[in-house]
């Protein structure tokens, strides 16, 4: 028996057993439920106060919540339990709630049903009846959840109301399943993967699958903001807060209110600013720069990085408590070299889009060109493939893209004569080489190139690197 349970910060898989959260302030009640359910293969977490119950529901997904209506000694009004029921309904109205009431307190049980509880049982209960009640509600909840996940996976694959997302390789199946599972929730999600793997597309899919989809998705390159303007961009400022603050400015959190905020390159947020981000995530409160007025926001935060945040946290470069808040769930995107089955699908998708855009009569790829693409390492991942196909469509002189149009060979870019390259092409080539040499580390690459991080990010976006 644990006074303060430890619950997993993960969404259960389809094979995972039934999970029940029990909320009651009496230790013998919690022990009795555990002794009844655990031998039946049902996982049980316990919470001895309404606050602990809410924290547990915020960190894990349960098939049933079994909760008492009174938590203060010698009270029988049930107001604490009804308040907890209301909070649970706000968090997730789909989780089945079974309330426990004292013997004969039928009026309170009826009131809880009116407010959203699915069922009630009186203390002391009959073990078989309680066990049967939990099984029925858990099985129904699991069936409905599987149906929702399957429908969402199908919507993603059909592309209905979703951004373009090509994912047929086996290594992408866990990604699809996680998007389907966590998309409809309010859980903060950390999206990890190398540069160009499609992290922003996943953020758009998560937003499109959520109840917030009709509200804005606000994206910001958190690592590309100069440290001096970070607070103003993220939290806003009031007129006169600093020299150039000639008018009030709404920050990204307020712009995303009731919607979703996507913080790309989260690992590059300066350590001094991380505490301010943490406060908003914990409390939902912020102040614009130069203002003492506290504002409340309701924002789901999605973040992305190509860095190893756990290693950065261990090295003291990233706050561990902020990492805990950001990655309620982590979705890792494999690099393109680990999902080669998708290369033909992706290449054809990009070809169709660009031939319409540039009005070119290109119908496909020559076999040798497709072979080159399948053998190439794609260090820039899907983004590099996209730009390679776009360039090839522009250069194609026949109805098929030839190997010479791709400008790739033996896993490396062909050496081009600088005499035949534009200044932008030379700069892009140089930046690409330095990024590879620095293993994608933006700060190191910026130092090597003599640029600020913000300036390097602008060039990366400009050249599609």
Helix axes 453-463, 442-449, angle to 10 degrees: 100
Listed as own residue / partner, the contacts of 150-157 with beta carbons closer than 8 Å and 24 or more positions apart are 150/180, 152/179, 152/180, 152/183, 152/184, 152/209, 153/177, 153/180, 155/209, 156/180, 156/205, 156/209
- Kindly give the pairing relationship between strand 19-23 and strand 300-305: unpaired
Q: Are strands 119-123 and 97-102 parallel, antiparallel or unpaired?
A: parallel
Please name every residue paired with 192 in a beta bridge, in sequence order, or none if there are none: 305, 332
Q: pTM to 2 decimals?
A: 0.60
pLDDT of residue 134: 93
Mean pLDDT (the chain) is: 83
Tokens coding 389: 């196909």
d(CA 246, CA 252) in angstroms, rounded, equals 18
**Half-sphere exposure (Cβ direction) of 442: Cα atoms closer than 13 Å:** 26
Burial string for 178-212 (b: 16+ CB within 10 Å, else e) reads: bbbbbbbbbbbbbbbbbbbbbbbbbbbbbbbbbeb
- Taking only the tens place, the pLDDT of each residue in 202-260 is 999 999 888 888 888 999 988 778 777 788 888 888 887 666 767 778 889 999 998 99
Q: Tally the C-alpha atoms within 13 A of residue 219's C-alpha that lie toward its C-beta.
A: 10
pLDDT at 175: 92
107 Ramachandran zone, left/alpha/beta (phi>0; psi -120 to 50): alpha
Low-confidence ranges of the chain (pLDDT < 70): 1-16, 73-76, 103-104, 147-163, 241-243, 245, 409-422, 464-465
Question: Among 207, 327, 219, which Cα is nearest to 263's?
Answer: 219
- Do 438 and 445 form a contact (C-beta atoms < 8 A)? yes
Say yes or no: do domains 19-146 and 159-334 share a fold: yes
CA atoms within 13 A on the CB side of 163: 16
> Position of tokens 């090839």?
392
- Give me 160's structure tokens: 């209905």
Tokens read off for 321: 């408590």
Domain 159-334 indexed as CATH 3.30.365.10: no
CA distance 207 to 423: 38
Name the CATH architecture for the domain at 339-463: Orthogonal Bundle (1.10)
Pick the CATH number of 19-146 from 3.40.50.620, 3.40.50.2300, 3.30.565.10, 3.40.50.720: 3.40.50.2300
pLDDT for 364-396, tens place per residue? 999 889 989 998 889 889 999 999 999 999 988
Confidence at residue 190, expressed as pLDDT on a 0 to 100 scale: 96
Q: Is the distance from CB of 11 to CB of 179 less than 8 angstroms?
A: no
pLDDT of residue 411: 43
By the 8 A CB rule, do 248 and 236 touch? yes
**What residue ranges do the domains of the chain occupy?**
19-146, 159-334, 339-463
């Amino acid at each position: 028996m644990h006074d303060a349970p430890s619950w997993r910060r993960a969404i259960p898989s389809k094979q995972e057993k039934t999970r029940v959260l029990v909320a009651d302030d009496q230790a013998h009640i919690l022990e009795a439920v555990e002794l009844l359910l655990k031998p039946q293969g049902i996982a049980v977490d316990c919470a001895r106060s309404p606050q602990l119950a809410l924290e547990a529901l915020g960190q894990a997904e349960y098939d049933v919540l079994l909760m008492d209506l009174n938590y203060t000694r010698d009270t029988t009004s049930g107001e604490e339990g009804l308040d907890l029921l209301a909070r649970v309904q706000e968090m997730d109205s789909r989780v089945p709630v079974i309330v426990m009431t004292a013997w004969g307190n039928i009026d309170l049980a009826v009131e809880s049903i009116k407010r959203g509880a699915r069922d009630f049982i009186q203390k002391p209960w009959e073990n078989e009846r309680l066990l049967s009640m939990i099984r029925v509600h858990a099985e129904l909840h699991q069936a409905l959840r599987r149906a929702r996940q399957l429908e969402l996976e199908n919507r993603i694959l059909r592309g209905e109301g979703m951004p373009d997302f090509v994912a047929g390789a086996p290594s992408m199946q866990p990604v699809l399943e996680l998007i389907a599972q966590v998309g409809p929730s309010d859980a903060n999600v950390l999206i990890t993967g190398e540069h160009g793997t499609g992290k922003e597309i996943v953020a758009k899919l998560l937003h499109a699958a959520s109840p917030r989809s009709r509200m804005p998705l606000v994206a910001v390159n958190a690592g590309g903001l100069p440290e001096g303007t970070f607070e103003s961009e993220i939290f806003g400022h009031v007129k006169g807060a600093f020299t150039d603050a000639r008018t009030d400015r709404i920050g990204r959190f307020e712009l995303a209110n009731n919607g979703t905020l996507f913080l790309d390159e989260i690992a590059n947020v300066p350590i001094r600013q991380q505490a301010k981000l943490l406060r908003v995530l914990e409390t939902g409160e912020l102040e614009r720069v130069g203002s003492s007025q506290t504002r409340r926001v309701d924002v789901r935060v999605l973040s992305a990085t190509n860095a190893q945040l756990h290693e950065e946290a261990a090295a003291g470069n990233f706050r561990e408590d902020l990492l805990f808040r950001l990655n309620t769930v982590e979705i890792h995107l494999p690099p393109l070299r680990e999902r080669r089955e998708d290369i033909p699908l992706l290449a054809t998708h990009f070809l169709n889009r660009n031939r319409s855009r540039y009005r070119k009569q290109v119908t496909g790829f020559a076999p040798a060109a497709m072979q080159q693409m399948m053998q190439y390492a794609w260090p820039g991942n899907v983004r590099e493939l996209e730009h390679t196909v776009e360039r090839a469509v522009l250069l194609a002189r026949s109805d098929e893209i030839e190997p010479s149009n791709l400008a790739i060979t033996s896993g490396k870019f062909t050496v081009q004569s600088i005499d035949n390259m534009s200044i932008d092409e030379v700069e892009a080539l140089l930046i690409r080489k330095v990024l590879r040499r620095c293993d994608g580390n933006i700060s190191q690459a910026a130092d090597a190139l003599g640029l600020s991080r913000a300036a390097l990010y602008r060039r990366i976006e400009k050249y599609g690197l």
